[in-house]
Every structure is written in C-alpha cells, then in structure tokens.
Structure 1
Amino acid sequence: MTVRTVLGDVEELGVTYAHEHLFMTGGWPVREEPDYRLDSLDAAVAEVSAARRLGLSAVVEMTPLGFGRSPSLMRELAERTGLHVVAVTGFHKSRYYADDHWLHHYPAHEITELLVSEIELGMDEYGLAGPLVRRSPARAGAIKIATGYHAFGRGIRRLVGAVAAAALATGVPVVSHCDKGTMGHELLDALAAEGVPADRVVLGHIDHNPDAGYLISLAERGAYLAFDRPGRIKYGTDAEIVALVAELAGHGQGDRLLFGMDLARRSYWPHLGGGPGLTYLLERFVPRLEAAGLGEAAAAALTRNPGAAFALRDLTADGADGDARAGRPVPRA
C-alpha cells in the first residue's frame, strides 16, 4: 500500500480522519464568511497536537482549488507535528467559481492535464489561479469533485470526465462533497461510465442523509462512506451516527466506513475559541461506539479502511477498461 502525502509517499497512514480542513486562506469561503478563514499555523499545530496525543496519525485535507488551499502550510504543519497530510486537487461546487474561471471554459482534457500535474509534479501554491504556476514539492493524493443538492450542478458532468481521467492516469482516489448526502448513486454511475469503479470513490457528507438503507446500498456497490459530522450537533445527533454504524456493520459493510469531522470553521476549533475540536472524535465519539459494541467497526473505519481507500492503485492491473486511460496527459512543469 502506498499513499501520497504532502511530505512524500508513505506505506501506512495509521489512525486517519478522512475529511478535514486545516487551512483555508482565501477564495470564496473567506470572502463570504470570515468564520471560514483558517490561516493560523500555530492554531493548526495546537489542534493537531492535541489530537496526536490521542493517537491521530493522518488527515485527508479536503480544501480544493479556489478555496485558499496552502501546500506550504500543510507541509510545515506535517513537519512540526509528524502528521501525515493527504491533500487534494480538484473542485468544490461549480457555482463557487466565477463565470470567467477556467474550469467553466477549458476543455476537459486540459483540466485533466492540470489535475495530473498537481498529483505527479506538485501542487500550485496559488491554486492554479494563474497566470504563473509556483509548483510546490507537495503533491496531491486525491481528487475532489462536488455535487449539489439532488443535482450535479452547472458543468459538473463535464468535470466528472476530467476528474475520472486524472484518477485513472495517476491511481489516486476520487473524493466527493455530496450536498446533504444526496447524489451518491448518480455520482457513482457517472464515474463508472468513465471507468472509475465505486471502490475508488469516497462519498463525503453522506451521513447528512441518515437513511440506513440508502447508505447500505452505496456501500454494497463498494464505495467508501465518509461519516464526517460527529460532534456537529446542529446537523444531527451522535446517537444517529452510532445507529448508522451499527446498521452498516450489521449488514457486513463495516469495511466501507471512514470517519472525519469536517471542522472547516474557526468556531469549531478550541484554540480559536470554539469547539468541538479535533480531539472530539477520538475522545468522545469513538468511546460511544465502543460502548455500543462497535469497537471493531470503529477501529477499521479509522485505520484499515482509510489505508485502502486512499492507497494509490493501478486500475489497469484490476482489469479496468484500458480505453479509459487512453491519451494520458503528459504533466507540464
């Protein structure tokens, strides 16, 4: 198993949060809501260090292009704390990008080339805002795509093709924002049509749709389900999530579960005056699972499952459609 982190490829992740935001330094979220500004390295070090003392080993940092992603800050955080940081390239919902943004205009194959370059050569320090590229030594380890509420959203079907081609070319997984937990099957169908199997897809925010039957049907296809709202009670109780974990484990789908917290606001960080903080998952939520007899499912969701979900994988060796990889773009420095 090999996973790509901002400090290089590693063979083991350990205890992993599969959906977090450590830095958002500009772009749409910060313009719209100052609470989204996460630009303090010292605060991030303090938050991560507290969780590290409880056993946290790795985080998938889900901040995409256009949201103030900072490869240099991610690298410095990893160096100071020993945390494995898996970064993403790719996009949030297309409506968050101005009408003149290149994602609305570039041909799909050129978007694929940009994504592949971020994975194989290094991420741009300025999020491909252009016109110049300042290539970081930090490489992305996953590709993000986002769907809207019960809809793909403007231009997303075209981006699915570009994202799929980049995933097939590089072997990284596709990670998603599924608005309110919707569009899971539709996104899996669209990616499968481009050659990406469901077991190379992580469906984010999927527990915002707490329908056990729906979640089981996604897991049965092989998709990984990122439960990323424990502790954020305004979206639903932890008891609800515990019940969903029990349902999935009871149906033999415990190997499809991932956990995270998605703490994308200053008001979620104790070291910035808020809560519940990164420690909550290990300190409070996991013990509830263990008390409910779900300790084995919790351990798998934090260790074994993310190791498999975020590992690089050559899909041609798995019998994937070779035509899906035809015309692999050549990265440019």
Structure 2
Amino acid sequence: MAGIRTILGDITAEEFGICDFHDHLIRSYGPEIRENAWYLMNDVEAASVELQDWIDAGGRSMVCMDPIGCGRDVQKMLNIAEKFAGKAHLVMVTGFHKGSLYDNYGHWSFLYPHNQVVDLIVKEVTEGMDLFSYMGPSVQRCSAKAGLIKAGTSLRQITPFEQNILSIAADAQKECGAPISTHTDMGTMGIETAELLKKNGANLEKCVICHTNKINDRYYHKAMLDMGINLSFEGPDRYEWLTDVALAENICWLVERGYGDQIVLSMDAGRNTMQKGYMAKEGKIAHGISYLLTKFVPLMKEVGVSEKAIHQMLVMNPARILSIS
C-alpha cells in the first residue's frame, strides 16, 4: 500500500490534509547560521507556537526541508511531532543541500563510494534517521524515518558536487520509492536539474523543483512542467522577489493551461524573522507560516484560481507526490 512517511509513521493520503510542502520549524546548526543569525531556529517552544498557528488557520501537514548537515535536528523535530500527535503530520527529509554549504572535496557524500552513500540515504527512509545526521563516528538510528530526499543546486550553475548528489538522490529513489525535492538558488537551473534527474533515472512525477517562482517567467515554469516534473511555488510575503499579486497571477496562468496537478504551495519561512513564534519572544510581529492560508489563498481566489485548483495544490498534489509504495 502507498503511504506518506511522517516522523511518527506512515499515514494514508486521506489523513494528510492541507500541506505546506516546503518549510522549516527547527534549524539547529550549519553553515547558513554562520552566515546569518536569522537562520538559527532551535527553540521547540517557538516552533510549537508556529505550528499551532498553522493548524489554527486550517493547515494539517508540513514538509520540513532541513537536510543532512544543514540544520536538521531529528530529536527536536521528533519532540514536536509527538507533542502534536493527532493534530499535525510532519515529514522530514534526508539528502543534501546546495554545494556551497559543504566541503565539496572532503565531504563524505563525495568521498564515499557512490553505492555506499545511496545506501545510507535509503536506510534513513526505510529503517530510521540517524539522530546525529551522519555527523559523527557512529550511527544511532531512531524510530523516525525520512519521507523525502533532498538535493540542491547553485546560482546559474550545477557543480560536480551537486551533480553527484542529484545522482545519489535519483538512485536512492529507485531503491526506496521516496520523492525528491530540489533547491534551486534564486530559481535558476531548474530545467537543467530536471534533465539531470531524468538522465539518472528518477521518476519526475515524484520530483519537485523548488524556488523557481523567484524568476518571474511563466514560460520558464511551463517548460519545466512540460517535462513532467512538479514545481513548488513558495514565498508569498516576499516582495523583494515578487509581489503576492504577481505570484498569484502566475499560478493562475499555469492552472488555466492545465498544470494545476503539478504545483504545490508553501511559505518557506526559513528565517526566524519570518515566524510568529520566534519573533514574539523579541516583542516583534511577523506574518508567520499561516500567511499562506489567511492571506495568499484568498488572493489566489481573487485573481481567479478556483477552490478546486487550490484544493488540488494544497491537498491532492502533496499527497500524491509524497506517497511511498
């Protein structure tokens, strides 16, 4: 049977509900935090406030996109999942981020034999995640399993390190059936990412390319969708990239042309400055993850996206993509 692999176990697609396909609740360490303190998100209490706000707005599920070596904290996420058991479904990821966040010549994903790395990724999906995300001399697997494999690419290029992790993701998918989601830097290299995944034998119907909405080019998005891959449109409330209206109109244009069954939605509120729970502790106001449902969904309706299409993007598409048989 096909099921969605959450932190607390497999569930049916019918149980999954409204899904934020790409977000962050906990980020405990990693190169991004060295670059900017706003990436530090290691407070279970603040993350719980954010998740509760998402639930109160009508949300049910969330994919937390922190991969190996880039902030993934299995124990804290497991604590949150247990706290919200029966109220929310959380999916965690295995795999890697873009190359600039790793030692491209000394990281184990590059040094180990290819099949050995694939096996380590597959085991996180089939047996349980390592509590320390393969950062130590021993492996301590827990009951929580990853439900998705991540990879990443750079701004206007895909480095040899990134080509390698894309091939690892594709081969791991072939073994365990998990979906793949890829980071693109500022939306670039999306078509090339899809081409590499296809070349390596990945099932593009179970692959999602993220962040390409940062490029305001509908025909760029259409070209990727025509290849059979899925796109994650995240980041309303990001006026430095695109206004909410422009983002909603781009989605509407694609839905009108029949691509509504290949689009998923999210906030990608990956900075503490974007989340209500974290900012409340500093006496500040932020829109939070719930903005996706409270503000952006009504705007999509206003520009002409139907209720049926919105349900497809928030409920049906995530469930289809995330189901592992």
Q: Does 1:285 align with 2:288?
A: no
Name the residue aligned to 1:67: 70
Q: Does 1:25 align with 2:28?
A: yes
Name the residue aligned to 1:177: 183
Q: Does 1:107 align with 2:113?
A: yes
Alpha-carbon distance in 1 for matches of 2:273, 2:159: 29
CA shift at 1:196, angstroms? 1.0
Q: Does 1:235 align with 2:246?
A: no
CA contact (8 A) 1:232 1:276 kept: no
Alpha-carbon distance in 2 for matches of 1:284, 1:44: 21
1:233 alignment partner, SS class: coil
1:19 alignment partner, SS class: strand
> Number of residue pairs matched?
313
Name the residue aligned to 1:317: none
CA contact (8 A) 1:93 1:153 kept: no
Alpha-carbon distance in 1 for matches of 2:157, 2:247: 25
1:192 alignment partner, SS class: helix
1:139 alignment partner, SS class: coil
Name the residue aligned to 2:282: none
Q: Does 1:4 align with 2:10?
A: no
1:235 alignment partner, SS class: coil
**CA offsets, 1:154-175, max 9 Å, x none?**
4222222211111110001110
2:19 alignment partner AA: T
CA shift at 1:234, angstroms? 2.0
Q: How does 1:1-333 map to 2 (within 5 A)?
A: 1-12=2-13, 13-81=16-84, 82-98=87-103, 99-273=105-279, 274-294=285-305, 295-313=307-325
CA shift at 1:293, angstroms? 2.5
Greater CA drift, 190-199 or 256-265: 190-199
Alpha-carbon distance in 1 for matches of 2:310, 2:211: 18
Q: Kindly report structure 1 stretches of 4+ aligned residues shifted beyond 3 Å.
A: none
1:176 alignment partner AA: T
CA contact (8 A) 2:249 2:300 kept: no
Greater CA drift, 255-264 or 180-189: 180-189
CA contact (8 A) 2:110 2:164 kept: no
Alpha-carbon distance in 2 for matches of 1:207, 1:155: 25
Percent of aligned positions that are identical? 31
**CA offsets, 1:83-138, max 9 Å, x none?**
11111101111221134321231121111011011111111111111211121211
In structure 1, stretches of 5+ residues that fail to align are: 314-333
With normalisation by structure 2, the TM-score equals 0.93
2:240 alignment partner, SS class: helix
Alpha-carbon distance in 2 for matches of 1:224, 1:275: 29
Alpha-carbon distance in 1 for matches of 2:168, 2:202: 12
Alpha-carbon distance in 1 for matches of 2:197, 2:229: 11
With normalisation by structure 1, the TM-score equals 0.91
**CA offsets, 1:293-312, max 9 Å, x none?**
21322221100111111111
CA contact (8 A) 2:49 2:276 kept: no
Alpha-carbon distance in 1 for matches of 2:300, 2:38: 31
1:242 alignment partner, SS class: helix
Backbone CA RMSD of aligned residues = 1.3
**CA offsets, 1:235-278, max 9 Å, x none?**
22101111111110111101111001111111111222252201
In structure 2, stretches of 5+ residues that fail to align are: 280-284
